[in-house]
Structure 1
């Protein structure tokens, strides 16, 4: 008797489950189940599925990114996949700090699109201290805004564990002016362990400060230290004086694959069309201050 009742319950549950996902034209009749019971059960299952689906949709986040941050609908949907905004209070404070600091209504969407989690940050404990620290480097607000609008990922790094140690290392080998130059022009390579090591390396080889100022504006600062060592050795073997700015051009030419091929083609033109010797080409280059 118990087994028969259990079997009947299983059949009833299975039939109700099928009725939930069946088409409107399909009818199931099991035992004495009434149509009203089936409709009620279908309604409850549909309500549960709809509620669950809605809870997984980031409508609030998408709407906030569009209406408050100025993102396009497509950009908002993409950005919403990287975080979920629960309430607008903290995000409103973040946007207020950015606007008060000088970020324009065209720059804010770029920042949020590139680094969506910024509006999820703590405005007083994380965002504002970073802006203030960049100001302590000697960069103006205009420079800070322009730099961070281009490379907002810097704001996603820890102030104590990444930003301060990195710039303290730069300050140990560069002037304050050059540190600001690195921030303004080279924030895209933050943080890179090779940068400080390579600056110290070329300084030990005798490169003066004004040449280093040119050197830090190149991507070669991110070269593997051993690779840069090979380039520097080749430059010196060619007879370039590291105390002259042309040595930086030679480093760039030899360190970048495309630039190196261009340099070789130019040398061939001078030598084949104008009859210059290789010594003539090098002498011309060496005469550049």
Structure 2
């Protein structure tokens, strides 16, 4: 039994008046029709305006409802186009984060783009990175993106472009949880004698390496030591990464 039918049955039992029951029945059918129209419009828009395949559009439509109105999503698509994103890149963003189609582009997206531009990130680099990993576009600009961008830069002593490239590999670095995850693992490496220069170089190149659970990270460090690798050498962290990959595949 559909939700609408269940609701009608409930109302008939609670409100036996025939006129009221007919009123409820008409209302439910009207609401159901609107929902179906919204679903149909969303799928059609995702295919025709965003370039998604029918299969992908059907899947994505379960995550976003466009309410039978193209104005808002059109403004988002035009925003990306105006900033040099190709149709393929826009399609990838929509597939990964369809709720961005409901954004107010000038209010929520533009300040983030302006911040990255101010850091010397080119529009071509921005389009490549964000199309593969658009998560940052959902982050708060002041309390999250700017704060964590500067924090990562200060922590690793790298330049602006390196922060952005690190984000491409691991979007968590610009989230508020990154420092709390990474700091204990960095401290552990220091305790085991790994030089700061090696840690920071690797953190910029491969930040994903530093986000495993702390206990797992610690056990792997201890295993690398048992294998005889010298913490002062760069291959210590290479060996650590190899063991992490092996543990993932087993």
On whether the aligned pair clears a TM of 0.5, the verdict is yes
Local SS of the residue matching 1:64: helix
- 1:85 equivalent to 2:66? Answer yes
**What is residue 189 of structure 2 aligned with on the other side?**
202
SS in 1 for 2:240: helix
Q: 1:56 aligns with which of 35, 44, 47?
A: 35
1:31-80 CA-partner distances (Å, limit 9, x unpaired):
xxxxxxxxxx9xx9997665333211123322222222122233223222
Q: Is the 8 A contact 1:143 1:184 kept in 2?
A: no
Q: Secondary structure at the match of 1:209?
A: helix
| Distance of 1:184 and 1:66 partners within structure 2 | 27
Using a 3 Å threshold, how does the CA distance of structure 1 residues 197 and 140 change in structure 2: closer, same or farther?
farther
CA deviations on 1:203-261 (whole Å, 9 max, x unpaired) are 56442435532354163211122332333344345442333221121111333334898
Q: How does 1:133-148 map to 2 (within 5 A)?
A: 133-148=115-130
> Closer, same or farther in 2 for the Cα pair 1:118/1:209, shift >3 Å?
same
Query: What CA distance in whole angstroms lies between the structure 2 residues aligned with 1:196 and 1:99?
Result: 38
State the alpha-carbon separation in 2 of the partners of residues 111 and 55 from structure 1. 27
State whether residues 62 and 77 of structure 1, in contact with CA within 8 Å, keep that contact through their aligned partners in structure 2. yes
Q: State the superposition RMSD in angstroms.
A: 3.4
| Equivalent residues, number | 225
1:174-189 matches, cutoff 5 A: 174-177=156-159, 178-187=162-171
Stretch moving more, 197-206 or 76-85:
197-206
The match for 1:126 among 108, 114, 123 is: 108
User: Following superposition of structure 1 onto structure 2, how do residues 191-230 of structure 1 map, counting pairs within 5 Å?
Assistant: 191=175, 192=178, 193-199=180-186, 201-202=188-189, 205-209=193-197, 212-216=200-204, 217=206, 219-230=208-219
Q: Which has the higher contact order (CA 8 A, sep 6+)?
A: 2
Q: 1:154 to 1:12 in 2, by over 3 A?
A: closer
**1:77-116 alignment runs, 5 A limit:** 77-86=58-67, 87-116=69-98
Greater Cα radius of gyration, structure 1 or 2: 1
Deviation at 1:98, TM superposition (A): 0.6
The structure-2 alpha-carbon separation of the partners of 1:258 and 1:223, relative to structure 1 and needing over 3 Å to count, comes to closer
For 2:59 and 2:219, locate their aligned partners in 1 and report how far apart those are by CA, in whole Å.
43
Change beyond 3 A, Cα 1:85–1:228: same
Match runs of 1:139-288 below 5 Å: 139-177=121-159, 178-187=162-171, 191=175, 192=178, 193-199=180-186, 201-202=188-189, 205-209=193-197, 212-216=200-204, 217=206, 219-258=208-247
Name the TM-score, length of structure 2 as normaliser: 0.73
